[in-house]
Structure 1
Amino acid sequence: MSHGPLLAVLLGLGLAAVPATLPAAPDATARQEIDGLMQALASSGCRFQRNGSWHDAGEARSHLQRKYDYLLKRGLADTAEQFIERAASRSSLSGKPYRVACPGHAEQDAAPWFRQQLLRLRGG
C-alpha cells in the first residue's frame, strides 16, 4: 500500500498551519514615535485613569508598554496611530476610554492627548 497520498495530505495540513507571512514590525520612525509617546507620558506629571482607577504616569507607562509588547508580537502596532488606537485609548477588558489629567489642564480622554503629543513629536 502506498503512503504517498496520505503523506501529501499530512504535509499539506502542516504547511497550512504555518503563517504565510510573519507579523509586520514597526519601522524605525514608528518605533521612535511610540517610544517618544511613552516618554511624554512618563515625564508628563499627568495622572492616567483606567477602569475607574487613577495611576501615576510611571504606572501608566508600564501598563501601556505591556499592551504594546502584546500588540507587537501579533503585528498589530506598526504605526504610532495604531499604538494610540489599539493600546493607549481604551481598556481592552472593559472598552472604557482611558482618561488623562495633567496639572493645569482639563481632564480628557487619552486618545486626543496622545494624538497631540504625536503632533508635537512630529514638529506640528
Structure 2
Amino acid sequence: MQTEVTAPHPVDRHIGQQIRIRRIQSDVSQSELAKGIGVSFQQLQKYERGINRVSASMLYEVASCLKVPVAAFFEGLPEPGAGDLSQIAAKIDERIAYISTTEGRELIGYILQLPSRVRSRLLSLVSALIEG
C-alpha cells in the first residue's frame, strides 16, 4: 500500500521560511539552532523547508533560542480567510534565495550600517526606481 505524498501546507512552508530568515538574520548556523532546540540538523532542515510541521512548543523553543517573538514567524501571512496562501511561499522563496547568497548578506550588512533615516530614504529611492 502506497502512501500519498502531499505538498507542505503554505503556512507550514511560511513558518519554516521565517525560521530560516530569522536564523540567518541572527547569524546562527543550522547546527547551532538544532542543538539549541534539541533536534537533529536534519530535523531542522525539514522544519525550514516546511516538510515537517513545527509544533507550538517547538516554535516557542525556536523563538527563545533566536531571541525573537513567536509572532515574528507569522509576519507576512494574510489574516485567516483573507486570501490565497500559495502566492506567499513563492515571494519568500526568492527573498531567502537572495539572502542566502554572499551578495545578499553583504548588501544587507551595508544597509544595516546606514543610519535609520538614510535607510528609509534608500527604500523610497528603490521603490521609485521599481515603479518608474
Which structure shows the higher helix fraction?
2
**Structure that is richer in strand per residue:** 1
What TM-score results when the alignment is normalised by the length of structure 2? Answer: 0.33
Structure exhibiting the larger radius of gyration computed from Cα positions: 1
